[in-house]
Amino acid sequence: MIRIIESPREGMQGIGPLIPTDRKVSFINAILKCGFDTVEVGSIVSPKVIPQMADSLEVISRLDLDSVTSKPMVLVVNKRGGEIASGLDQVKVISYPFSFSPTFLRHNVNATVEDSLKATGEILNLCEKTGKEFVCYISMAFGNPYDDPWSLDMLCQWVETLKNMGVKTIPLSNVAIEIDAPKIGETFMVLLREFPEVEFGLHLHTDNHGLSRKLEAAYRNGCRRFDAVIGGLGGCPMAGKEMLGNLDTGNLVHWLDSNGIDPGIDLNRFLEAQVKAGEVYYT
């Protein structure tokens, strides 16, 4: 079964002009009706750093979750954010952007690798206590543009560390470095062979060059969890590099359909959400 994680949070966060809260609420409620496995509805971060997310708590409080099967997810970057998110009944999943790239962590969350690992454990513990799912992203999982040490062996060692802590879901993100299909295929082949009990996912930032080959490489090597953003917007504004857009949900759905794979969503509702995306992102 395919799991699509739709992230309006990431689509919005890099937009300069502040999107009115009412418009965000209407858009996210439309996305929640599409039937995605998970919808990332906001983040608990400093409004000085990411002003677009300053109203996340208000947005979350206004979600219409009646007859909704999608799990609302919130991203946090420290223990305090985890405490806030874990106390929200609407939130079912809490995510954290771990990395073993010291430079990325300094740019993104002003932390060391040791700090980030400690925060991972703290947030995981909060999730276990409050019945939330925990998703631990590994940023810069496929390489490193800052000349920090990286290898597939290092990635496996850090996955082993996270698994031993109790982390069960680990999406892999390239963030600010373009990657090709062979790198994606090799990474998932090795990780799924070594850690069959972990759910890995692909959080792909891409310019869409060779996209079909990239998706095929991930799927053929066992990936069944894909993060995406309607319209392909987003990226990490704190990476210290030029932002790469996200995997466009429309392109992902088209690829799945072309290969006879059920995306597991209501396509009519999805088309309605795509229309709303234009109103939110471009007006």
Instruction: Return the domain boundaries, the chain.
Output: 3-282
For tokens 């771990």, what's the residue?
Answer: 98
Copy the structure tokens of residue 235.
């990226």
57 class by beta-carbon count within 10 Å (0-12 exposed, 13-18 middle, 19+ buried): middle
pLDDT digit string, tens, across residues 26-64: 999 999 999 999 999 999 999 998 999 999 999 999 999
* Banded model confidence at residue 236, pLDDT cuts 50, 70, 90: low
CB atoms within 10 A of CB 229: 27
Which pLDDT score is estimated for 241?
43
Domain 3-282, classified CATH 3.40.50.2300, yes or no: no
Q: State the pLDDT confidence band at 244, using cuts at 50, 70 and 90.
A: low
- Please state the rounded mean pLDDT for residues 8-35: 95
Mean pLDDT confidence for 98-118: 92
235 or 132: which leads in pLDDT: 132
- Looking at residue 207, its pLDDT comes to 81
242, pLDDT greater than 50: no
Flag whether pLDDT at 245 surpasses 80.
yes
Band (240; pLDDT cuts 50, 70, 90): very low
Residue 200 has pLDDT above 90, yes or no: yes
pLDDT of residue 282: 77
CA distances from 91 to 77, 173, 224, 270 (A): 16, 23, 23, 22
User: How much is the pLDDT for 239?
Assistant: 46
Least confident interval from 183-187, 231-235, 242-246: 242-246
Count CB neighbours of 121 within 10 A. 14
pLDDT digits (tens, 9 = 90+) for 129-160: 999 999 999 999 999 888 899 999 999 999 99
Query: What's the whole-number average pLDDT of the chain?
Result: 94
170-199 pLDDT, tens per residue? 999 998 688 999 999 999 999 999 999 999
pLDDT, greater one: 13 or 224 = 224
Smallest CA-to-CA distance from 59 within 74, 37, 70 is with 74
